[in-house]
């Protein structure tokens, strides 16, 4: 009877409707007559989740039966965005669900808008993790993600009338989250503080006791593959106090401390740190990192033990990818488990560890490299500090053996940086504890080898270091966000999207159609409708009217000096001044432009906030100027998110990726814009370079100093400074109108302007004229509409390389040694 009663997937419209209504009546305890869009969304989401759970169960059962090697992606950030549309498309049930909700009196597109973004990430690193989960499931690979279930995701951004960024909390779990499943049976204890005593019995073992214990509680989020039953898992940990309060402290008579620790336990997973590219050395952040890696490793080891193999075979069944250094504490934690709990000899334990981990570096900016103060580690994780010291001792002995007497090298390579206080260099620990190390684009991987990890390449050999160029999922970033373009591609390739969405190189077959006027017309009309969709979005959310006959020029990413939104806004002011210089007749020949920015700044990054303020105030003046507003409009769209990106990207004619050469590791939005037929204006940096190689130099706009030149320019800027007037008269004029108050109180911008006048670390003045020249080339190219559309088609159709399916297969084959697992129907 068990078998007879098993539920099957509901895939026809009547079955789907029954399921939705059933959830309205029971799960939500609501009635048809008072059901609003939010309720209907929740019921639809719960019914989709039912389907996902059935697939998930089959997938996990198959993994248990087949015992394949598994990979785990450890990321402190997963920037998932919305789930409903994505799940419907991957399950191929969008049509049926739309028809069903239609019959029930609801519009599917309105229901989709009810969902809040799961915004458990800052930017590129977190969104990459989300794309990789989609690709792993779609490629039928046994991969799980492990992260934290933050109660509050990335802050909501508000912009005050003066242009000041204000932050509000993001209570994304407030209306319940239909996409997660609490696993009350999956809990682990995690210890902090206390003391570590070596046994000194001839083994490396120690006993770690006392301190505070907190509970890690699992929540599972299903990750559906595209057009496959394969459904993977993202396991997120929530921290909870143990039995109300900590008995250890209580029994030791420290009642106050016990109650305090019960509050502090829940604090661990309360909020995502909103810093990106800057470290702060905060105790709570280290607590997050250890809490998460300890719970995740305990979970993996329990699962491994279920298959009954000796612990030495751990690396044959488990690969762990470290998404940047944030999960590096997993390395000493695995050593602790092996040595102290499993009684494995040190060398064997180190062998197991270094065969299990893989480390991806995502930035070479010095301020982003994590270091933890030794006294903090001693206090919070005393046993791990001992282990790190031991790892360092054996490591430095080996370095000394290879390079005898090279004291400076030992100091450079030590896991412990000297200073007050001493600090632990997490990138070095991640490097020596891993089997392989990779960067995220060709140039970046070279920079990793020649700068931050140079000594390690000399010591370990270059073979350990390589490149996996980032990718993006074409499901969310084309099929979902640009359904009309997706349909045109399927029609023109004459294959269902099922085929090309999983083999993105097929787009190349459409290249000849760039010469077909009818195809170009359809292509251009879709771009136009996407621009109108964006204009509609801005009208309804902000009440602003946008000129959809203009070129749409977009820069959307975290606000950071190295990404140079500053260069863009100064270029906009230059364009404005040029328009003001013209006669009304001359202006009529100008090709109208609308410039869009969206960006969050880290709450404590005040120069970044000042740049936002400048953008907002320039927009205020420009959009109100009757002489120029038909030719130049400027918008700062607040609260950038995955969902906003899904509206902006398909609408762009040109997008800007203009970091100082050598600073942007890869960039991934560049790939998204190009895949949607937007042209690229950028520096010779990160993945821009590889995009240029794929689309051909004549279809992209490059400018600026190259990476090998940057160091010398920076040196000159300090030791042989030249005034801005000399480097770029055009920029000097722009700086002076800002300073004189054309956009409100000029005085407040002085600290920002001074970063350019003095030092100019990011080469704003050095690159300005080259940038303005590139903008002019873009204008000229846009005048020839037919040629522009050809470039747009060529750009989109050469993006095959940038599918995250390609990237994840490289990890699976060359790093993890993973095979796909077919899930039987
Ligand atoms: C500890 C503070 C902190 C937080 C986040 C330091 C560094 C980070 C991330 C590693 C920054 C990040 O998101 N890097 C971006 O990673 C993307 C995915 O590989 C790349 O495309 C971007 O170029 C890179 O800036």
**ipTM of the modeled complex:** 0.98
Residue 9, pLDDT score: 79
**Atom 5 (ligand 1): residue with closest C-alpha?**
276
- Say how many Å lie between the CA of residue 125 and the centre of ligand 1: 5
Assess whether 404 and 487 both reside in one domain.
no
Residues 160-199: pLDDT tens digits?
999 999 999 999 999 889 999 999 999 999 999 999 999 9
Say how far apart CA 364 and CA 16 lie, in whole Å.
Answer: 50
Cα separation of 62 and 812, whole Å?
A: 19
- Residue 371 CA to ligand 1 center (angstroms) comes to 16
Q: Specify the range with the lowest mean pLDDT, choosing from 95-99, 127-131, 248-252, 461-465.
A: 248-252
pLDDT value, residue 125 = 98
Please indicate, yes or no, if residue 730 is contained in any of the structural domains. no
- In this prediction, residue 99 has a pLDDT band, given cuts at 50, 70 and 90, of very high
pLDDT of residue 344: 98
Residues 489, 434 within the same domain = no
- Clarify whether 362 is annotated catalytic: yes
Q: Is 436 a catalytic residue?
A: no
**Would the pLDDT of 499 be above 70?**
yes
Claim to verify: residue 628 and residue 585 sit in the same structural domain: yes
What proportion of the chain, given as a percentage, has pLDDT over 90? Answer: 94
Three-state secondary structure readout of 241-297: ECCCCCHHHHHCCCHHHHHHHHHHHHHCCCECCCCCCCCCCCHHHHHHHHHHHHHHH
pLDDT value for 250: 58
Mean predicted confidence (pLDDT) in 285-314: 98
Is residue 43 situated within a structural domain?
A: no
Q: What percent of the chain has pLDDT over 70?
A: 98
Closest CA to 710 of 670, 666, 664, 752: 664
145 in a domain, yes or no? yes
Is 447 in the same domain as 490?
no
Q: Is the pLDDT of residue 262 over 80?
A: no
Task: Decide: 136 and 255 in contact? Cβ < 8 Å.
Answer: no
Give the integer Cα–Cα distance in Å for 551 and 549: 7
Asked if 672 is an active-site residue, the reply is yes
| Banded model confidence at residue 248, pLDDT cuts 50, 70, 90 | low
In this structure, is residue 642 part of a structural domain?
yes
Nearest CA to ligand 1 atom 16: 125
Nearest CA to ligand 1 atom 7: 277
Residue 554 is assigned to a structural domain of this protein: yes
Residue 665 Cβ inside 6 Å of ligand 1? The answer reads yes
Residue range 194-232, pLDDT digits in tens:
999 999 999 999 999 999 999 999 999 999 999 999 999
Arithmetic mean of pLDDT, 55-83: 98
User: Which residue's CA is the closest to the ligand 1 atom numbered 4?
Assistant: 276
Pair (506, 597) in one structural domain: yes
**Does residue 247 register a pLDDT over 90?**
no
Examine the pLDDT at 4 and tell me if it is beyond 90: no
Q: Which of 73, 122, 124 to mutate to test the pocket of ligand 1 (most atoms within 8 A of CB)?
A: 124
- Counted domains in the chain: 2
Mean pLDDT taken over the chain: 96
85 lines ligand 1 (CB under 6 A): no
Q: How far is the CA of 363 from the centre of ligand 1 (A)?
A: 6
Per-position b or e across 210-248, b if 16+ CB within 10 A of its CB = ebbbbbbbbbbbbbbbbbbbbbbbbbbbbbbbbeebbeb
pLDDT digit string, tens, across residues 590-600: 999 999 999 99
Other CB atoms within 10 Å distance of the CB of residue 706: 12
Same domain, 576 and 693: yes
d(CA 278, CA 152): 20
Residues 216 and 317 in one domain: yes
My answer on whether 522 and 441 are in the same domain is no
Q: Are 293 and 333 in contact (CB under 8 A)?
A: yes
Q: Are 540 and 649 contained in the same domain?
A: yes
3-state secondary structure of 552: strand
Mean local confidence (pLDDT), 34-63: 96
Range of the domain at 136: 67-82+117-159+166-469+810-816
Instruction: Report the separation in Å between the CA atom of 392 and the middle of ligand 1, taken as the mean of its atom positions.
Output: 26
**Ligand 1 neighbourhood includes 128 CB (under 6 angstroms):** yes
Q: Does residue 421 have a cis bond before it (omega within 30 degrees)? A: yes
Asked whether the predicted pLDDT for residue 237 surpasses 60, the reply is yes
Instruction: Enter the tokens of residue 14.
Output: 């009547």
Contact 255, 271 (CB under 8 A): no
pLDDT of 128 reads 99
Catalytic residue status for 277: no
Which residue among 562, 665, 671, 672 has the greatest number of ligand 1 atoms within 8 angstroms of its CB, and so is best to mutate?
665
Catalytic residue among 94, 285, 476, 557: 557
737 CA to centre of ligand 1 in angstroms: 35
Give per-residue pLDDT as tens, 322-373. Answer: 999 999 999 999 999 999 999 999 999 999 999 999 999 999 999 999 999 9
Which residue has tokens 């030149």? Answer: 709
Q: Is 557 a catalytic residue?
A: yes
Residues 215 and 244 in one domain: yes
Report the pLDDT averaged over residues 442-449. 98
Terminal-to-terminal C-alpha distance of the chain: 20
Kindly state whether residue 766 falls inside one of the protein's structural domains: no
pLDDT digits (tens, 9 = 90+) for 540-580: 999 999 999 999 999 999 999 999 999 999 999 999 999 99
Strands 551-556 and 593-598: parallel
Each residue's pLDDT tens digit, 765-816: 999 999 999 999 999 999 999 999 999 999 999 999 999 999 999 999 999 9
Q: Is residue 245 scored above 60 in pLDDT?
A: no
Q: Tell me: the pLDDT tens digits for 733-750?
A: 999 999 999 999 889 999
User: Which atom of ligand 1 has the smallest separation from the CA of 126?
Assistant: 13
**Residue 256: per-residue pLDDT:** 65
Residues 6+ apart with CB under 8 A from 26: none
Whether 465 and 478 map to the same domain: the answer is no
Q: Is 292 inside any structural domain? A: yes
Q: Which of 195, 55, 79 is nearest to 640 (CA)?
A: 79
> Does the residue 720 lie in any domain?
no
What separation in Å is there between the alpha carbon of 124 and the centre of ligand 1? Answer: 6
463 and 485 belong to one structural domain: no
CATH code of the domain in which 573 resides = 3.40.50.2000
667 CB under 6 A from ligand 1?
Answer: yes
**Atom 6 (ligand 1) nearest CA:** 277
DSSP 4-26: HH------SHHHHHHHHHHIIII
């Amino acid at each position: 009877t068990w078998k007879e009663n098993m539920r099957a997937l509901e895939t026809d419209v009547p079955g789907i409707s029954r399921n939705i209504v059933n959830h309205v009546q029971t799960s939500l305890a609501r009635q048809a007559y008072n059901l609003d869009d939010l309720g209907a969304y929740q019921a639809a989401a719960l019914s989709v989740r039912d389907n996902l759970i059935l697939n998930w169960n089959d997938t996990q059962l198959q993994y248990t039966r087949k015992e394949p090697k598994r990979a785990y992606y450890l990321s402190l950030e997963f920037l998932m965005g919305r789930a409903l549309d994505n799940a419907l498309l991957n399950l191929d049930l969008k049509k049926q669900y739309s028809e069903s909700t239609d019959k029930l009196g609801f519009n599917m597109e309105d229901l989709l808008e009810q969902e809040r973004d799961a915004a458990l990430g800052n930017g590129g690193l977190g969104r990459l993790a989300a794309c990789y989960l989609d690709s792993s499931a779609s490629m039928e690979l046994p991969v799980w993600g492990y992260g934290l279930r933050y109660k509050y995701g990335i802050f909501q951004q508000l912009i005050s009338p003066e242009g000041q960024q204000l932050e509000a909390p993001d209570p994304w779990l407030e209306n319940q989250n239909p996409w997660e499943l609490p696993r009350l049976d999956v809990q682990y204890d995690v210890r902090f503080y206390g003391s570590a005593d070596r046994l000194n019995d001839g083994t490396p073992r120690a006993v770690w006791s006392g301190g505070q214990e907190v509970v890690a509680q699992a929540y599972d989020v299903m990750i559906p593959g595209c057009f496959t039953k394969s459904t993977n898992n993202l396991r997120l940990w929530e921290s909870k106090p143990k039995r109300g309060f900590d008995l250890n402290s209580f029994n030791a008579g420290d009642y106050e401390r016990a109650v305090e620790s019960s509050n502090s336990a829940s604090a661990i997973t309360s909020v995502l740190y909103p810093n990106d590219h800057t470290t702060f050395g905060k105790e709570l952040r280290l607590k997050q990192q250890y809490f998460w890696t300890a719970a995740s490793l305990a979970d993996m080891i329990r699962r491994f033990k279920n298959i009954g193999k000796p612990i030495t075979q751990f690396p044959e069944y488990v690969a762990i990818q470290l998404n940047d250094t944030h999960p590096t504490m997993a390395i000493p934690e695995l050593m602790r488990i092996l040595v102290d709990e499993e009684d494995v000899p040190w060398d064997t334990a180190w062998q197991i560890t270094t065969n299990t981990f893989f480390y991806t570096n995502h930035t070479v900016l010095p301020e982003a490299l994590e270091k933890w103060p030794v006294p903090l580690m001693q206090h919070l994780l005393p046993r791990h500090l001992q282990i790190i010291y031991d790892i360092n001792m054996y490591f430095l002995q080996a370095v000394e053996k290879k390079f005898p007497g090279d004291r400076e090298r030992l100091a450079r390579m030590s896991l412990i940086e000297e200073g007050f206080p001493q600090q632990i260099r997490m990138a070095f620990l991640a490097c020596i504890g891993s089997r392989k190390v990779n960067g995220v684009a060709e140039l970046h991987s070279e920079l990793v080898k020649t700068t931050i990890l140079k000594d390690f390449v000399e010591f370990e050999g270059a073979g350990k270091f390589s490149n996996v160029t980032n990718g993006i999922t074409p499901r969310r970033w084309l099929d979902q966000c640009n359904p009309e373009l997706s349909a045109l591609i399927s029609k023109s390739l004459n294959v269902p999207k099922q085929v090309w969405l999983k083999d993105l190189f097929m787009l190349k077959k459409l290249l000849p159609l760039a010469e077909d006027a009818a195809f170009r017309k359809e292509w251009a009309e879709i771009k136009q409708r996407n621009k109108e969709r964006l204009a509609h979005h801005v009208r309804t959310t902000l009440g602003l009217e946008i000129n959809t006959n203009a070129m749409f020029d977009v820069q959307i990413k975290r606000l950071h000096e190295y990404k140079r939104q500053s260069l863009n806004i100064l270029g906009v002011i230059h364009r404005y001044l040029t328009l003001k210089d013209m006669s009304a007749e001359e202006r009529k020949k100008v090709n109208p432009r609308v410039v869009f920015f969206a960006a969050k700044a880290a709450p404590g990054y005040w120069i970044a906030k000042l740049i936002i303020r400048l953008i907002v105030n320039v927009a205020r003046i420009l959009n109100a100027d009757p002489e120029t507003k038909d030719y130049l409009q400027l918008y700062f769209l607040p609260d950038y998110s995955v969902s906003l990106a899904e509206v902006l990207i398909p609408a762009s004619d040109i997008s800007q990726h203009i970091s100082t050469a050598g600073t942007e590791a890869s960039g991934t939005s560049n790939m998204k814009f190009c895949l949607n037929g937007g042209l690229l204006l950028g520096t010779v940096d990160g993945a821009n370079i590889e995009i240029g190689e794929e689309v051909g130099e004549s279809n992209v706009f490059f400018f600026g100093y190259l990476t090998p030149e940057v160091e010398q320019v920076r040196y000159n800027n300090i030791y042989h400074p030249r005034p801005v007037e000399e480097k770029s008269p055009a920029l000097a004029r722009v700086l002076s109108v800002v300073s004189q108050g054309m956009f409100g109180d000029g005085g407040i911008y002085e600290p920002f302007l001074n970063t350019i006048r003095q030092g100019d670390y990011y080469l704003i003045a050095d690159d300005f004229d080259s940038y303005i020249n590139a903008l002019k080339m873009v204008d000229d190219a846009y005048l020839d509409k037919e040629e522009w559309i050809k470039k747009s088609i060529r750009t989109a159709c050469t993006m095959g390389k940038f599918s995250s399916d390609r990237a994840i297969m490289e990890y699976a084959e060359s790093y993890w040694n993973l095979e796909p697992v077919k899930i039987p129907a």
